[in-house]
Amino acid sequence: MSSPDAPEVERVDKVTAYRQEVLECAGYEPADALVLATNRDIDLHGAVALVRSGCPSATAVRILV
C-alpha cells in the first residue's frame, strides 16, 4: 500500500535525478552533483554556467554550498 504522498516523493526524486544528470554533464563529479542537486536553493543554471565559464567544478561547489 502506498502513502498519499508517494506521487510527490517520486516527482521529487525525478527532479533531483534530472538536476544531478545536468550537473554531471556540465562537469561536476557525481558526489558533488548530488550535493548540489538535492539543495533546491542552488540555482541549477547558475551552477552550470559557473563551470561552463571556466570555473573548476570543485571551486564552484565551494562557492555554491
Give the model's pLDDT for residue 3. Answer: 61
Q: With 60 as the cut, is the pLDDT of residue 2 above it?
A: no
Q: Where in the chain are the domains?
A: 6-64
Note the pLDDT tens digit of each residue in 3-60: 666 776 677 799 999 999 999 999 999 999 999 999 999 999 999 999 999 999 999 9
- Output the nine-digit C-alpha cell for 22: 545536468
Residues 6+ apart with CB under 8 A from 9: none
Give the model's pLDDT for residue 62. Answer: 97
Note the pLDDT tens digit of each residue in 32-44: 999 999 999 999 9
Rounded CA-CA distance 20/55 in Å is 18
Q: Which residue has the higher pLDDT, 40 or 2?
A: 40
